Structure 1
């Protein structure tokens, strides 16, 4: 395969070949505005000229933040055209993280989009950072506006040239501990991974459509949606408000849909609100009606033309995968990390083994180390962490393989399974080691649970801390507790005595980015759970009879 053009070269190619074809679709207060390839390219070229006019030099860092929107893409493309380094910031990034990243990356300018709690975010940005407001309602006032800058500058005639191995963007990992690390991405990294996607998940002749709602500051949405849309090509529709995901999904009907486990559990909950499980089971037993019901549900969800439905970031409980499969929706689990451009393994239609994270890409260079760690070596791997030689050295083995930190195995048919994290294994006071991930996975059969975390360091026996989903919080407590105890007993039958769950703690509040228990990419902050609940768990251990403790 010949080498792919870099993303902005590809954008200009699309704009030249199909200038009037629709590309980005943006809702503003419920009214949709579409942008063609030609319009997107021209806006990005005008903004590139504006950034250069402000005195920014090739290699300077520029941030984009706010909810996903069409101008987030255009701002990123403008950085690419001007030879600048694009840095995504989560709209709910903590103020400490914003301060750290702004200083560490040396951010010179920032595009500000719509976001909740903008005041704290903007206060954390250094005063010398030039602020540019994206053209959306409710965006905090900035020194410059997108419309004024674009109108005042002619389109940049030629993209600023840079080497294929120069820094294209910095993606700061949200991290469950310590300061975020700036993962370097180059044009070479992007070209390699996109070539793999085009090979294994080629565009359908009928056209491709994405719904962009997962954080664009994360490597997955940036690569699998923003960058991939340039090459497939694909039309991209944006979500205006998170609360409108069900109705927007039903309207957009994407051909490829990506989500994290929490999204799929909430989609399941939404269906069960309208159609109770007992009724679904009854209808599914009727040969002719069952096919009609499946089709109706898929269309109601907006997944009726989705040929690729992917779940990632964390394990999706097997019961949820099987539940969707009965409706004719194959939710395929994939695997990767920011440091390897989210390029390791994936299940594909017709090649799906439930419980696995798929077969490694043919060029992923994946191996299982002696200690069980999954390691990979390919051209999508980051050159390292920005301004952090020590952490970069820790990321790679002596012979150049990237350490994922995940433990796993490959079965006889080539499917990869994750068995836990290398560093998440804890030792109880009995001196026994426990790997939490497999036990948490088994507890995933209980559909009342939204998030969970098995802890045991400093305890004689592991305990499970969990939060309930919104529907479960409305049920009688006795009913929920009986279900939790039943699941605990079933799980305990399958593990060693030292791994058995001795108690369950049901937290008062849902876990979120706001309360610090989840990362912006919806991963559980295990260290925060241990810190927040460690003292309580130690006290509860003395009560031998207690099985379920309700925080409230």
Structure 2
């Protein structure tokens, strides 16, 4: 296995050298469909030929709208084989957002794969060549299956040069409209090669792909990394089968966002209450058996790397998992730096930090504490936005991350907030909400949290309840939240102390536009809806208010 010059070259290597190895495992209606490297290569070549038959200009942009599935991977390979640039779109976006991205990205064709409700999205896909996968009950445009039956595979494949555009990733941004981040072939292969060196996972390792492939972390850390090492990919069939699909796969690497770790904990504690679990873990023989069983049930028995990213994870939760034998490593990266930034590693993990910078990364803090990054895979810019591109780079070529952080004496980085998330109360003092939110989120009755305070004397906490919180008696819930606020306030300066907790009626989710597809809270959208109510809530007598 040589050093590959592109993700496509990596795939072609495994197709030639391990043709009969299983590459993709796709559950459909409870049955497992598998594709070897040779089979996936054959289907991808036929789709590439069909794309070329549209007679599009060279390096045309091809959109990809699908949940994670075998066909997402084959579509991505087909786009590379045909010599085009991929535009992945989040499968949860509504028709307006899809139309906006298709138009802004100048996409000339789209591949439509596995979706929950394409009927509601279809009107956003207009006047464009379409290829649609029939296996997932969609039928709009040319059918993938018909192409496979009637088209000859593409024979001549030209490998791209490293400076060619590989993909445009539209950020799920917590603020404003999505921006198209341009990454070259070289950026992607360098980033994946660094992952391979850092993690050292062998050829044929099992990967479980479920976080949106339209997001850089899954696309780089799982998909492209997997292409480079010749991994075997499995996918969940549905939300209902997710737990059993993950348990069946037992992947060697598992990447999750904080909400998923909270959900896993809830499921464990539903079956085994906290006190009982804590007691059983004190009994030596039972301790080993319980840890084994929990890791098996969660699908993490074989995992060498268990990573949390995209948003901060509560320290308490990391320690709780450590007690049951699961070591979660927090990392830090962005779409713009191709996620090559900072990582904790299995023998070098400092809980509460996002780890040390990788060896290929240069980093410094600005006068305001903003983290500045330089590596060998920074984006070439935002598509059609030269002014915004210029504004996020320093004169010396460092990327301004927008995150505020600090390093300790050993070089571990802690993220302390976002430059744009800071707000002033009417006392005129700045508050960074992130550390306060993280501290308050130790209370497992809380699902999501957003600390706000513009135009009122003290900050207030807007929260949604977890399943545990919803099941709790009202008086006990108020008691628990009040105790948490008291504890958190004892560590804060006077102007930072939380005055009220407001329990939201409405969930915050992707559908109502209050979280990103990676489940980060969209502060601006939440503020827009609720800011007119801050003053009246603040004047109420109760400390915990039900909206």
Distance in 2 (CA, whole Å) between partners of 1:243 and 1:531 is: 34
Question: Could you tell me whether the CA contact under 8 Å between 1:50 and 1:150 is conserved in 2?
Answer: no
Match of 2:368 in 1: 371
Instruction: Report the Cα offset of residue 3 of structure 1.
Output: 4.9
Instruction: Report deviation, 1:307.
Output: 1.3
- Indicate the residue corresponding to 2:72 in structure 1: 72
Which residue number corresponds to residue 298 of structure 2?
A: 301
Query: Could you tell me which residue of structure 2 aligns to residue 458 of structure 1?
Result: 455
For 1:194, the equivalent position in structure 2 comes to 192
Equivalent of 1:423 in 420, 423, 431 = 420
Q: Is residue 6–residue 187 contact of structure 1 (8 Å, CA) maintained in 2?
A: yes
2:542 is the alignment partner of 1:549? no
Q: Tell me, what secondary structure is at the counterpart of 1:242?
A: coil
Answer yes or no: is 1:37 the counterpart of 2:37: yes
The residue number in structure 2 matching 1:130 is: 129
**Higher deviation after alignment, 362-371 or 425-434:** 362-371
Distance in structure 2 (CA, Å) of the matches to 1:430 and 1:197 = 46
Contact map agreement 2:95 2:120 (CA 8 A) in 1: yes
- In 2, the alpha carbon distance for the partners of 1:95 and 1:458 equals 35
Structure 1: give runs of 5+ residues left out of the alignment.
none
User: 1 CA distance for matches of 2:378 and 2:363?
Assistant: 12
Is 1:345 the equivalent of 2:329?
Answer: no
Aligned position for 1:237: 234
Q: TM-score, normalising length from structure 1?
A: 0.97
- 2:272 corresponds to: 275
In structure 2, distance between residues paired with 1:18 and 1:58: 31
User: 1:487 maps to what in 2?
Assistant: 484
> Alignment length, in residue pairs?
547
CA distance 1:300–1:161, shift in 2 (3 Å):
closer
Q: Say if 1:409 and 1:418, in contact at 8 Å, map to a contact too.
A: yes
**4+ residue segments displaced more than 6 Å:** none
Query: 2:380 matched to 1:383?
Result: yes
1:47 CA displacement: 0.9
Measure how far apart 1:161 and its partner are: 4.3
1:400-439 superposed matches below 5 A: 400-439=397-436
Alpha-carbon RMSD across the aligned residues, in angstroms, is 1.4
Deviation string 1:21-41 (CA, Å, 9 cap, x unpaired) is: 111000001110111011111
Q: TM-score, normalising length from structure 2?
A: 0.98
User: Which residues of structure 2 form unaligned runs of 5+?
Assistant: none
Out of 221, 226, 229, the position equivalent to 2:223 is 226
Partner residue of 1:354 out of 351, 354, 362: 351
Could you tell me whether the CA contact under 8 Å between 1:319 and 1:444 is conserved in 2? Answer: no
Q: Could you report, residue by residue, the CA deviation over 1:370-415 in whole angstroms, capped at 9, with x for unpaired residues? A: 2111111111100100111011111111221101000001111111
Secondary structure of 1:203's match? coil
State the distance in 1 between where 2:159 and 2:223 align.
Answer: 21
Mapped contact 2:160–2:185 kept (Cα < 8 A): no
Offset, 1:155: 1.6
CA distance in 1, matches of 2:357, 2:432: 24
Query: By how many angstroms is 1:181 displaced?
Result: 0.6
